[in-house]
Structure 1
């Protein structure tokens, strides 16, 4: 379905979806290295487990995209996301976030310019649609880094996010 969106809007959504997919790829790769019991380990009482982070991401993304941009009822219980100490398996957690991300990408790909510039009240903030998408992308990326860091601490290994790529290539002007 073609939306009523400018080329700038198209470019913005295309790049937002790319970044969401990158975070999802890194989360999946991190989880592939973990044993079931690793998912709910906490480094200390002031920190969250990878399981908590994944539950929190689902809550945040649901609140911002599904309830915010898509107008669904906001049923989030944020404090509960951090109180959970188990009960969901690694595969259940990844299935939940994968299903959510598929839904989110469908919503994003159908947003109009009007929806991207309209303002919404989400979690007490007044944000445009663009602001909501930026928040979700950066928030997902932030927690992806936490998941990767905690996985590296647990497993003492490089996670190979960029295997096969030469990240030392220099930029080319005019790309």
Structure 2
């Protein structure tokens, strides 16, 4: 295997791993919340967890799928935040799972030239690699918000790393 393909596979595997971890954490959060809590907004300046998940699906599709596959950008960003119902917890998770799966496939299938090509997305100029990094960090950012809001609602540890010794030193 050539070094470029090896680097691409390493980048895509690590981005995919981080995305899978975020999905795992979001599922843990939703499992601890009621259907009503998922749509609840803490205040007028914040979004519900459901809106954040819809927002993540829109963002991942725009940056990670449409842009990298050179498809038409059909995102309606404002709708991600204005919807107030219409999805159950399981439907939200399925939508996010499918979106993440499609993005990971787009990352893996992209030819190297597509990962290096600069393109404008949402007014920003990134390469395909930049888009992969954006998708990964954006998903992580909102996963943290979802986790914090879940902790505030339930006043309990989420158990993301139950049974894992996080004090193990680097080798």
Same fold by TM-score greater than 0.5: yes
Give the equivalent residue in structure 1 for 2:78.
79
Between stretches 108-117 and 28-37, larger displacement belongs to: 108-117
Give the equivalent residue in structure 2 for 1:52.
51
The answer on 1:161 being equivalent to 2:160 is yes
Judge conservation of contact 2:118–2:125 (CA < 8 Å) in 1: yes
The answer on 1:95 being equivalent to 2:94 is yes
Could you tell me how far 1:84 is from its partner in structure 2? 1.4
Give the equivalent residue in structure 1 for 2:60.
61
Give the equivalent residue in structure 1 for 2:126.
127
Give the equivalent residue in structure 1 for 2:16.
17
Structure 1 residues not aligned, in runs of 5+: none
Pick closer, same or farther for the CA change 1:3–1:61 going to 2, 3 Å.
farther
SS at match of 1:86: coil
Could you tell me how far 1:5 is from its partner in structure 2? 4.3
How many Å separate the matches in 2 of 1:128 and 1:40? 35
Judge conservation of contact 1:69–1:120 (CA < 8 Å) in 2: no
SS at match of 2:39: coil
SS at match of 2:129: helix
SS at match of 2:120: strand
Judge conservation of contact 2:63–2:135 (CA < 8 Å) in 1: yes
How many residue pairs end up in the alignment?
A: 171
SS at match of 1:158: coil
Could you tell me how far 1:41 is from its partner in structure 2? 0.5
How many Å separate the matches in 1 of 2:91 and 2:76? 19
Q: Deviations over 1:77-109 (max 9, x none)?
A: 111211111121111111111111111111112
| Superposition misfits of 4+ residues, deviation over 4 angstroms | 2-5
Judge conservation of contact 2:69–2:110 (CA < 8 Å) in 1: no
Could you tell me how far 1:4 is from its partner in structure 2? 9.5
Q: Over aligned residue pairs, what C-alpha RMSD do you find? A: 1.6
Structure 2 residues not aligned, in runs of 5+: none
